Homo-oligomer: A and B are copies of this chain.
Amino acid sequence: MWIRTKCSLNFQLEEATPLILMLRPRSGMQQWIARESYRLTPTVPIIEYTDIFGNLCQRLVAPAEKFRIDTSADVMTLDKPGKIDWTYFVEIPNLPDSILTYLYPSRYCESDRFGKMAREIVAEAQPGYEQVECIKTWISNSIQYLPGSSEYPESAVEVNMKGHGVCRDLAHLGIALCRSLSIPTRLVVGYLYGLEPMDLHAWYEAYVGDRWYTFDPTQRDVGVGRVAIAYGRDAADVAVYTQFGPPAIYTSIHVSVELLPAEDTGV
């Protein structure tokens, strides 16, 4: 399945402003970036580095006045969700070292406060995938998904109290609940084909059985057509852009995701 993603950011800034961006998806196990572009208007010096979670990050100083970033990618993603076998709970001693960091509480996922609630939600579920699915269903049913309703990330505790949130908020709650059961869970920011209304999207992955599995409480089915841009413990690790200094006069973001006929994936 071939997807073309586009994301444009427009800034109007009072003064020259350092930005850290995460807008370059990486090729990996689940997606192949066959074509990619990343254009700055006006052109300014830009440096790329890899963060502690393996994401590509771009650093630059945006000029005062208008500044624009246009990115685009042609990505081959999985045609079907990965087959879900007997995806059991992985006992802590058997988890790979590199996964352990996703067990701990983080800025917006206070998993240390959700143990009791999580155990109640999954009371009937088998340890592992079934627990995570159970949590996802509970969130879908209990927390209202209101796209565009908030600007700043909210923590799992806050989201749980409010009872509604954007995709990122629902993901934070899902992550906190899973981690409180000692299931490693991470936030994913990326694109989802067919999302309504179209925007950048956030969901989460839980490590059960032998790999990461995708969960998204905002969608009926996990479906296909996902392109990951960045992974982290929560939104504090994976802001698409982080801006330092005085707030922007104006910021806008434009996202599109289209299906690509295979014959158009050429160079």
Contacts and interface: CB of A to CB of B under 8 A. Distances in A.
Interface in A99-141: 100-101, 103-107, 109-110, 112
Contacts of A34: 37-39
A46 interface: yes
Given A18-B93, A27-B47, A267-B70, A236 B104 contact: yes
Nearest to A51: B101
Contacts of A103: 242, 244
Interface in A10-29: 18, 20, 24, 26-29
Nearest to A53: B52
A82 B70 CA distance: 29
A61 B93 CA distance: 7
B39 A27 contact: no
B266 A39 contact: yes
A92 interface: yes
Contacts of A37: 34-36, 74, 267
A242 B104 contact: yes
Given A32-B46, A34-B39, A267-B70, A112 B152 contact: yes
A39 B110 contact: no
Contact of A182 (B28, B32, B92, B244): B244
B35 A36 contact: yes
A264 to B, nearest CB: 12
Interface of A: 18, 20, 24, 26-29, 32-39, 43, 46-54, 56-59, 61, 70, 72, 74, 76, 91-93, 97, 100-101, 103-107, 109-110, 112, 152, 182, 236-237, 239, 242, 244-245, 262, 265-267
Given A35-B37, A57-B100, 9 more contacts: A24-B27, A36-B36, A39-B265, A51-B100, A59-B93, A59-B100, A61-B93, A103-B242, A104-B237
11 contacts: A18-B93, A24-B27, A27-B46, A36-B36, A37-B267, A43-B76, A49-B97, A59-B93, A72-B267, A92-B244, A104-B237
